[in-house]
C-alpha cells in the first residue's frame, strides 16, 4: 500500500478529517500561494529566497559571508489543553524548540528570541510560568531572550484563554546553507523520532478525546501515560543531535516535520527531480498518533498529512555515510531513500504493508 502526494498538491477525493475538526490545511496552502502573489511585486535587496520555507533568510548587512535566519511560530491549540490542565511550564519550551528546529533546517545557530503572549485576563503568575518555559529553552540553546510583548485583550479572548507565539533569529555562514540541488537518487533518508504530536494536530486530538478521558490511560502506550500526559509531552529540540551529526557526516538537506506532516514538509527540502521513498515499517508510531488515527478513521493520505506519525525531523545524507550516521545517533533510523522522480509521480511516497 502506498500513500503519496504531488508537490504542492493534495488529493481532492480524500476526506480531510482535520478540516472537519476546524483546520483546513488545503486552505492554508492556498493562503501561502496568495501571500507569494501579493508580495511578489517588491522584495528587499538583502532578502534571500521566497515565502514558504521553514524560515526566512536575510543577508547580514556589510558581511557577504553570513546570513540571518528568522522564523515565527506558535504552539497552536495545544495551549487549550495546557490551560485546562494548568500545565503552563512546558508550552513555553514547546514554542522555542519548534522555532529552533525550523531554523536548524538551514544549519543556523540561534541568536535571540522574542515572545508574544496574548491573554483575556492577565494573571501574573501564569504569565511568569509561561515565560519561564521560554527562558528555560532559550538557555538550553545558549540563546538570548530579548523580550517580547504581553497583550491583555478582553473580548477577543475569554478570561482564562491565551495565545503564545514567538520569533527566533539565528545566523549561518552562507556557504553552509543546505542546497536541495545536492540531493540525488541513492541518497539515504534518516528519521529522528517524534515523542508525540509535538505542536501539531491538536484540534483533531481534541475532537476525538473527550475531556473526561484525559486522565485515563492511553491505550497501547509503553510508558503507561495518561491521555493528557501524552498530549502535553514537550516538543523536543533536535539541536544537539543535528549539531553532532553535522560534524561527522555530510548532510544534504533537512526537514522539520510539523503541520502538513511528512507529505508536505519533506518536499520543501527536495529538488523537483526526485521522490522520497519512505518505508513505514522502519519506525514505530507513537501510541497517541495510532489512537487518533483509529478514532478519527484517518486514511493513508490523511494520517501522513496531518500527524508526524512518529518522525519529528528528517536528515538526508549520502548512502555511504549511513553507518557512521547511525553510530553517531543511535536513536535515528534509516527510513527510506531518494529515487529519480517519474513523470507525474508524487514527491513523497510512503510504503506500508
Kindly state the average pLDDT of the residues 262-279.
96
Instruction: Specify the pTM.
Output: 0.90
Contact 192, 257 (CB under 8 A): no
pLDDT digits (tens, 9 = 90+) for 45-79: 899 976 667 899 999 999 989 999 999 999 999 99
pLDDT digits (tens, 9 = 90+) for 72-110: 999 999 999 998 888 888 999 999 999 999 999 999 999
In what side-by-side order are the strands of the sheet with 2-5? 2-5, 348-351, 274-279, 333-340, 188-193, 311-317, 253-256
Q: Is residue 318's pLDDT more than 90? A: yes
Of residues 139 and 5, more confidently modeled: 139
Task: Tell the CATH topology of 2-8+180-351.
Answer: Phosphoribosyl-aminoimidazole Synthetase; Chain A, domain 2 (3.90.650)
Q: In which band, very low, low, confident or very high, does the pLDDT at 5 lie, cut at 50, 70 and 90?
A: very low
- CATH number (3.30.1220.10, 3.30.1330.10, 3.40.50.10490, 3.40.50.300) of 45-176 reads 3.30.1330.10
Please tell me the least confidently modeled range out of 33-42, 260-269, 276-285.
Answer: 33-42
Kindly state the average pLDDT of the residues 27-34.
73
Q: Is residue 260's pLDDT more than 80? A: yes
Average pLDDT, the chain: 91
What is the location of CATH 3.90.650.10 in the chain?
Answer: 2-8+180-351
What is the location of CATH 3.30.1330.10 in the chain?
Answer: 45-176
Q: Which residues are CB-contacts of 255 (< 8 A; sequence separation ≥ 6)?
A: 54, 105, 265, 266, 268, 269, 313, 314
Give percent of the chain above pLDDT 70: 90
In degrees rounded to 5, what are phi and psi of residue 312? -95, -20
Amino acid at each position: 500500500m502506498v500513500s503519496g502526494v504531488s508537490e504542492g498538491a493534495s488529493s481532492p477525493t480524500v476526506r480531510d478529517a482535520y478540516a472537519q475538526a476546524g483546520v483546513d490545511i488545503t486552505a492554508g496552502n492556498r493562503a501561502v500561494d496568495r501571500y507569494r502573489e501579493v508580495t511578489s511585486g517588491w522584495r528587499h535587496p538583502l532578502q534571500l529566497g521566497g515565502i514558504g520555507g521553514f524560515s526566512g533568510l536575510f543577508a547580514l548587512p556589510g558581511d557577504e559571508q553570513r546570513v540571518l535566519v528568522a522564523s515565527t511560530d506558535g504552539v497552536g491549540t495545544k495551549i487549550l489543553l495546557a490551560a485546562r490542565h494548568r500545565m503552563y511550564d512546558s508550552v513555553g519550551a514547546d514554542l522555542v524548540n519548534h522555532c529552533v528546529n525550523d531554523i536548524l533546517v538551514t544549519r543556523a545557530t540561534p541568536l535571540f528570541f522574542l515572545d508574544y503572549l496574548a491573554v483575556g485576563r492577565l494573571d501574573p503568575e501564569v504569565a511568569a510560568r509561561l515565560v519561564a518555559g521560554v527562558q528555560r529553552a532559550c538557555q538550553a540553546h545558549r540563546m538570548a531572550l530579548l523580550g517580547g510583548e504581553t497583550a491583555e485583550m478582553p473580548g477577543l479572548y475569554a478570561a482564562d484563554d491565551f495565545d503564545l507565539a514567538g520569533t527566533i533569529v539565528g545566523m549561518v555562514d552562507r556557504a553552509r546553507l543546505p542546497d536541495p540541488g545536492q540531493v540525488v537518487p541513492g541518497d539515504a533518508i534518516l528519521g529522528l523520532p517524534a515523542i508525540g504530536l509535538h505542536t501539531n494536530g491538536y484540534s483533531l486530538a481534541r475532537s476525538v478525546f473527550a475531556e473526561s478521558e484525559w486522565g485515563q490511560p492511553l491505550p497501547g502506550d509503553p510508558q503507561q501515560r495518561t491521555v493528557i500526559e501524552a498530549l502535553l509531552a514537550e516538543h523536543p529540540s533536535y539541536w544537539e543531535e543535528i549539531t553532532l551529526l553535522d560534524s561527522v557526516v555530510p548532510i544534504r538537506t533537512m526537514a522539520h516535520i510539523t503541520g502538513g506532516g511528512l507529505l508536505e514538509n519533506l518536499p520543501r527540502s527536495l529538488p523537483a527531480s526526485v521522490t522520497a521513498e519512505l518505508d513505514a515499517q522502519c519506525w514505530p508510531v507513537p501510541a497517541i498518533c495510532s489512537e487518533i488515527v483509529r478514532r478519527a478513521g484517518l486514511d493513508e493520505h490523511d494520517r501522513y498529512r496531518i500527524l508526524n506519525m512518529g518522525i519529528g525531523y528528517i536528515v538526508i545524507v549520502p548512502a555511504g555515510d549511513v553507518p557512521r550516521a547511525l553510530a553517531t545517533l543511535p536513536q535515528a533510523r534509516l527510513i527510506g531513500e531518494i529515487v529519480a522522480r517519474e513523470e507525474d509521480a508524487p514527491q513523497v511516497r510512503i510504503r506500508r504493508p
